[in-house]
Amino acid sequence: MRKSKEQIADIYRGIQDHICKELTLADGKGEFREDAWERPEGGGGRTRIFEGGKIIEKGGVAFSAVYGPTPEKILQKLGLEKAEFFATGVSIVLHPFSPMVPIIHMNIRYFEMENGVHWFGGGIDLTPHYINPEDANYFHQEVKKVCDQFDMNYYPKFKKWADDYFFLKHRNETRGIGGIFYDRLSAKSDEEFQSHLDFSLSIGRLFPEVYGYFMKKNHSLPFGDQEKAWQNLRRGRYVEFNLVWDAGTKFGLDTNGRTESILMSMPPQAEWEYMHQPAPGSPEAFTLEHLKKDLDWLTYEL
């Protein structure tokens, strides 16, 4: 029997709990501070902010379940008929202290309207300050394993979607090395609905596994002032994407979402430098050269 929207919200709460527990253990020092909130038009959530970490400088793991009249702007943008909506999900962004550890983002969500329209969406993507082909290969291999458990077409389809979505058009560069992104995944049967839900939850469980790997592997690598300066420039690009192009940010603001929770994805510090050009042959130049769509990190020659 198909799970109700309330049951899905409860399951996503459990995913939030699981991820927060695993991240706390992996960091070994910091802890989450929870901010429970209510939305005046209906629903609310739990925003958990990670503070005082050994590895994670700033992080957020947010759960929300909101409902009410669908704003006209959303109806027009998505081509939907007027009806009340329900949306629930978990959204995560982590900014590490070390520039050798990548930024990571994950989102899993479910959207339903009272007229029966429904879909799942989400994804996971990695934004290294310094691109390491071995790390990129590992990340994409792990994501592909999850996708292949459900549909062999998921990885190539959703990987392409991520490359196109996480793209700064005004910079002509990708936000990072991509991952997967999908939206409006609807079901025609209860069996298909359960498969979509299970896929969503598998992405949620993958998150602490892959990021725990990067935390352990990369946090002790040496770095200096040059690497920290580059990190802040790359964080600036992250800010640009989230404020200019990110559909989730726009959806949250258009539905009168909670601004503090929506903007938890912002880094603790970011910088912009006019016409910055890295030195030819440098690790920074290598990174810029590989911020391109459609790179196959599974077959990249190391």
Quick one: pLDDT at residue 264? Answer: 85
Contact 125, 176 (CB under 8 A): yes
Q: Assess if residue 297 is contained within a domain.
A: no
Q: Assess if residue 174 is contained within a domain.
A: yes
Radius of gyration of the chain measured on its C-alpha atoms:
19
Higher pLDDT, 158 or 300: 158
**Terminal alpha carbon distance of the chain:** 47
Return the CATH number at 159.
Answer: 3.40.1500.10
Predicted confidence (pLDDT) per residue in 261-270, tens digit = 888 889 999 9
Q: Assess if residue 294 is contained within a domain.
A: no
Contact 67, 85 (CB under 8 A): yes
Predicted confidence (pLDDT) per residue in 66-115, tens digit = 999 888 887 887 787 888 999 999 999 999 999 999 999 999 999 998 99
Quick one: pLDDT at residue 249? Answer: 87
DSSP 102: P
Task: Check if 276 is active-site.
Answer: no
Q: How far, in Å, are 61, 87, 142, 151, 165 from residue 168 at the CA level?
A: 24, 27, 25, 29, 9
Given a cut of 70, is residue 225 above it in pLDDT? yes
Candidates 105, 196, 219, 290; catalytic one: 105
pTM for this prediction: 0.94
Instruction: List the domain range (segments joined by +) for residue 244.
Output: 5-289
Predicted confidence (pLDDT) per residue in 166-219, tens digit = 999 999 999 999 999 999 999 999 999 999 999 999 999 999 999 999 999 999
Contact 179, 159 (CB under 8 A): yes
